[in-house]
Amino acid sequence: MNSPMRSRICSLFTLVFLILFAGSCNKSNPLITDTPADYYPMHVGNYIIYRMDSLKYINVGSEDTIISYLAKEVVDDSITDNLGRLSYRVIRYLSDTTGASGWTPSIAYMVTPLPGSVEVVENNLRYIKMVTPVQDNISWLGNVYIDTKSDTALVPYMNGWNYTYSNTGMPYDVLYGTVPQAVIVNEANSITNSEDSISYSQTVFSEEVYGKNIGLIYKRFLYNVYQAPNVDFPAGATIGYGITFNMVSHN
């Protein structure tokens, strides 16, 4: 085979290889251009209704109970935060699980959409809920603005949470049904035990799921500390709380 012919064949094989390689890359690493605005849209008048289950520990921490409600979160108005940025006030209303008792205002919180993130201020705690790009394995310190280290810190267990995206663009099942595209934000998942593994343990878990063009569709949070039986608490004691939001409808 002459040299020019060999050269053309080699070039052809190289071109085919590059095309196949590029195609393989595109299949395994699709270009994702989603932003927080896609999963946390804010428009005055929008609402989402959830089944809200609140976990509480009773009888000096020897038992737990779950109290359930319907929670309706309404984007009430556009405002500005203390830095002059466009924000939105969200009001949460509660009702019984049938909705027959009507809606009673519970709390209000503020959402600030930014070019590269979404911030939420609730109960005077400022979270970075999402960042750009919305893509698997992207991570950030979502509680960086929260005091978790001082002597007066109210939520030291929120220190160092490394929020991470997973299952981006995948379907997710909630009480409403299957949401075609969603993203999971893994916030915390840890268990800390005493050296003997039985006298003390602390559990921290937090996860939020956002539906594309909807907003928050699911949330589960749990924090508890268990103390083994002792003189003061013969049955042992658990303190803490938990909460779950599961979307049932939206407009």
DSSP secondary structure of 172-209: EEETTEEEEEEEEEEEEEEEEE-TTSSSEEEEEEEEEE
- Give backbone dihedrals phi and psi of 12, rounded to 5 degrees, phi first: -65, -45
Q: What is the pLDDT of residue 58?
A: 85
pTM: 0.84
Q: What is the pLDDT of residue 231?
A: 79
Q: What is the pLDDT of residue 245?
A: 98
The per-residue pLDDT string of the chain (251 residues; one tens digit each, 9 = 90 and over) reads 555 445 454 454 444 444 444 444 333 345 557 999 999 999 999 999 999 999 999 887 678 899 999 999 999 999 999 999 999 999 999 999 999 999 999 999 999 999 999 999 999 999 999 999 999 999 999 999 999 999 999 999 999 999 999 999 999 999 999 999 999 999 999 998 887 767 889 999 999 999 999 999 999 999 999 988 887 777 788 999 999 999 999 99
Which residue has tokens 């039985």?
198
Distance CA 12, CA 21 (A): 14
Residue 93 makes CB contacts below 8 A (sequence gap 6+) with 71, 72, 73, 74, 103, 104, 105, 106
Q: Is 28 helix (H, G, I), strand (E, B) or coil?
A: helix
Are 240 and 192 in contact by the 8 Å Cβ rule? The answer is no
The count of residues in the chain is: 251
Q: What is the 8-class DSSP label of residue 152?
A: T
Are 147 and 218 in contact by the 8 Å Cβ rule? The answer is no
Positive or negative, the CA dihedral 212, 215, 219, 221 is positive
- Reduced 3-state DSSP string for 87-106: EEEEEEEEECCCCCCCCEEE
